[in-house]
Structure 1
Amino acid sequence: MRCEVRWSLCWENELQLSDHIELTEFFRKAYGPTGAFNAKPFEGSRSWAGARPELRAIAYDSHGIAAHMGLLRRFIKVGEVDQLVAELGLYGVRPDLEGLGISHSIHVMLPVLQELGVPFAFGTVRHALRKHVERFARYGLVTILSGIHVRFTLPEARLDKPPTRTEDALVIVLPVGQSMSDWPAGTTIDRNGPEL
């Protein structure tokens, strides 16, 4: 039997220190199995990896946090066009609930995206997650774009690394206030900041 979860939408300034600590533990457990490096940003009470979200969708069940998705409004540059988006990221599901599905968190976020009046939601995922995302895309809500180079800054300036990194990630676009035909053409996206 599938466990019941309740979703909560929280603006970042509504979270208490105890919320950040609980989220930090959640992300360590959710991201740790994919590699120690992926869990490293979540130290102390830091409940974000790169850019800090402004809004979070958090699912709870009887065992605590079950799933999470963050949202951050920003302008990205697609080719030569500055495009307003709501970046979705910092997605995680507690390992014992794999299969809860990204679709649940996007459905929770959709009314908020519409209220915010953003033309598109945008996110990136590793190529290893393509089949997972394609299952959701077959319902026609999102478009998956490949062959796009996405550039972003590192969360902190470091002497031993260049300040920016470029990755060939899968780009996910969800039309909210405009149609997909309005998405700018381009093979590069510049976040002009750290990824969410």
Structure 2
Amino acid sequence: MRADVRWKLCWENELQLSDHVELTDFFRKTYGPTGAFNAKPFEGSQSWAGARPELRAIAYDSSGVAAHMGLLRRFIKVDGVDLLVAELGLYGVRPDLEGLGIAHSIHVMLPTLQEFQVPFAFGTVRPEMRKHVERFGRHGLVTVMSGITVRSTLPHARTDLPPTRVEDPLVIVLPVGRPISDWPAARLIDRNGPEL
């Protein structure tokens, strides 16, 4: 990690309007190159795309926001079994800092995850991120799973779309309070809410 990058944990209600505006700009610039649709939710001062995080790990350097990861505690259903997780998402790294990486974000969050006493942290990424997350997963901190259907609600009810979205992303699980062997075998995960 670069010496001039500093991480800050922020509860959502601690953020000022100026923080949201800065994060919105960061997400538009970070997600925009992956497709205009990916940057679309970040308009005005909205610094979240689906579910709103309750806690954020934000890295700053002399140029502003360098990286971000959000956290939201929730119950998901894993093949019908209720499971408390800390969902990790809303992840991004400024393009000029590639290599700062998801590993640094999770290491910053780990003490807080342990304080929350959740059994697992959970997240999803699109299949195009496979090489990136598998490279991170080989260090044994997380388990990367594929072939699992994930159902989420849309962030806003719309008359022209069904209320839920069904995807086949890569599922990332980080054991926090229980071993990975306690994670239920899954074919379907219901978020029962929008993706973080």
Q: Which TM class, normalised by the smaller chain length?
A: over 0.9
Counterpart-to-counterpart distance in 2, 1:21 and 1:139 = 35
Cα offset for 1:184?
1.2
- 1:60-139 alignment to 2 at 5 Å? 60-139=60-139
Counterpart-to-counterpart distance in 1, 2:3 and 2:165 = 39
Cα offset for 1:3?
5.6
Q: In structure 1, what residue type is equivalent to 2:28?
A: R
Output the TM-score relative to the length of structure 1. Answer: 0.98
- 1:141-156 alignment to 2 at 5 Å? 141-156=141-156
Counterpart-to-counterpart distance in 2, 1:147 and 1:46 = 32
Tell whether 2:179 aligns with 1:179.
yes
Counterpart-to-counterpart distance in 1, 2:5 and 2:128 = 27
- How many aligned positions are there? 196
Output the TM-score relative to the length of structure 2. Answer: 0.98
Q: In structure 2, what residue type is equivalent to 1:17?
A: L
- The equivalent of 1:24 in structure 2 is 24
Q: In structure 2, what residue type is equivalent to 1:150?
A: V
Cα offset for 1:2?
4.3
> After TM superposition, what 4+ stretches of structure 1 lie above 6 angstroms from structure 2?
none
Contact 1:76-1:85 at 8 Å conserved across structures:
yes
- The equivalent of 2:188 in structure 1 is 188
- The equivalent of 1:11 in structure 2 is 11
Cα offset for 1:186?
1.9
Contact 1:11-1:55 at 8 Å conserved across structures:
yes
Counterpart-to-counterpart distance in 2, 1:180 and 1:174 = 8
Cα offset for 1:4?
2.1
User: Unpaired segments of 5 or more residues in structure 2?
Assistant: none
- SS in structure 2 of the partner of residue 147 of structure 1: coil
Contact 1:3-1:61 at 8 Å conserved across structures:
no
Q: In structure 1, what residue type is equivalent to 2:106?
A: I
Q: In structure 1, what residue type is equivalent to 2:30?
A: A
Q: CA RMSD in A?
A: 1.0
Q: Which deviates further from its counterpart, 90-99 or 146-155?
A: 90-99
Counterpart-to-counterpart distance in 2, 1:80 and 1:56 = 29
Counterpart-to-counterpart distance in 1, 2:186 and 2:195 = 19
